[in-house]
Amino acid sequence: MLIRKKPVLCNYYVTYRCNASCAFCDIWEKPSPYITLENVQQNLPALRKLGVKVIDFTGGEPLLHRQLPEMLEMAKQMGFITTLTTNALLYPKYAEKLRGRVDMLHFSLDSIDKEKHDKGRGVACYDFLMQSIEIAKKLGEKPDILFTVFEQNIPEIIQVYEQITLPNDLVLILNPVFEYNQVETQGGLSQDALKTLRKLGKKRKIYLNDAFVQLRLDGGNHIDKPVCKAGTTTLVISPENKLVMPCYHLGLEELPIEDNLYELYHSPKVQQLVALEGKHEKCEGCAINCYMQPSFAVNVNKYFWLALPSTLRYNFWKGTWKQLF
């Protein structure tokens, strides 16, 4: 049963460019422009009218966009919850300008070991991340550590938790790796690994959406009875100012917005694509976190109840829970 039929999230790609080359991501391989401030100014009122609550300014590496602080400020002034994930290479440079403008700031870290983390990211960013934690704390910010989980780095989770997040009073977000296109996932996650994650997710200041675990144990999305509600819950805007349908990772259609986002979303073409969410051939087995998170939140089923406790707890930690309702 759907309890909400309006989009709740906008994944706003400010650029596909990136200053890292992570093995488990292919976005950095794309040539890309940057979104314009004018397009953001035009689209934010439409997003609000459509019912969007959360805007994830993403990439690529979003901090490559020099006007990002202004975009975040506009979104905050309009009452949106803002989120941003960065490899932290540029955070020390822009920290002052970002201060108070990001509700959910995530620093990506995949290993307690500097050499392993930098190798996986394709760039030396570990030291910048450690420096960024200290800078953020001095500014009164509380970034989260976003840990992409592979089978091989599960033993390091406790080390990151005990040596980095707990001493700094930060939240550790466990982000189970997901497959798409031809990206390298190092074999994915076994059932034993998923059960281990489930136990770790019960610890204080560790966030793991338990529905992510169950979905993987169930074999992901199934096109005959789709869990995914990406078209209903999530708007994806590209750096070219196009609406990407049904999601970025599938990207079957890219429709020019041309200052008519609200009308475009309600057009027959887009609504036909929304009706096919989770039903495309390539949707079989999908477990992409950034679309499943909002999908679980709007459809009352077993995943809704599994996701609810961790979602409420995390938003309580971040002080954003009131804005979700």
Q: Is residue 236 part of a domain?
A: yes
- Could you tell me which residue, 109 or 181, shows the higher pLDDT? 109
Pairing assessment for the beta strands 242-245 and 253-256 based on DSSP bridges: antiparallel
Rounded-to-integer distance, Cα 294 and Cα 163, Å: 31
Rounded-to-integer distance, Cα 138 and Cα 226, Å: 45
Q: Is residue 4 part of a domain?
A: no
Domain that holds residue 132: 9-324
Q: pLDDT tens-digit profile of 134-191?
A: 999 999 999 999 999 998 999 999 999 999 999 999 999 999 987 665 555 555 789 9
**What's the pLDDT at 293?**
93
Q: Is residue 291 part of a domain?
A: yes
Question: CATH number, domain at 101?
Answer: 3.20.20.70
Q: Is residue 218 part of a domain?
A: yes
Q: Is the pLDDT of residue 251 over 90?
A: no
Q: Is residue 312 part of a domain?
A: yes
Q: pLDDT tens-digit profile of 235-250?
A: 999 999 999 998 888 8
Q: Is the pLDDT of residue 59 over 70?
A: yes
**What's the pLDDT at 21?**
76
Q: Is residue 23 part of a domain?
A: yes
- Angle subtended by helix axes 210-217 and 302-318, to nearest 10: 150
Q: How many structural domains is the chain composed of?
A: 1
Average pLDDT over residues 256-284: 94
Q: Is residue 158 part of a domain?
A: yes
DSSP code string of 262-292: HHHHTSHHHHHHHHTTT-SGGGTT---HHHH
In contact, 277 and 229? CB cutoff 8 Å:
yes
Query: Which of 16-20, 141-145, 171-175, 224-228 shows the lowest per-residue confidence on average (mean pLDDT)?
Result: 16-20
Q: pLDDT tens-digit profile of 292-322?
A: 999 999 999 999 999 999 999 998 888 886 5
**What's the pLDDT at 318?**
85
Q: Is residue 234 part of a domain?
A: yes
Cis status, amide bond into 246, omega within 30 of 0: yes
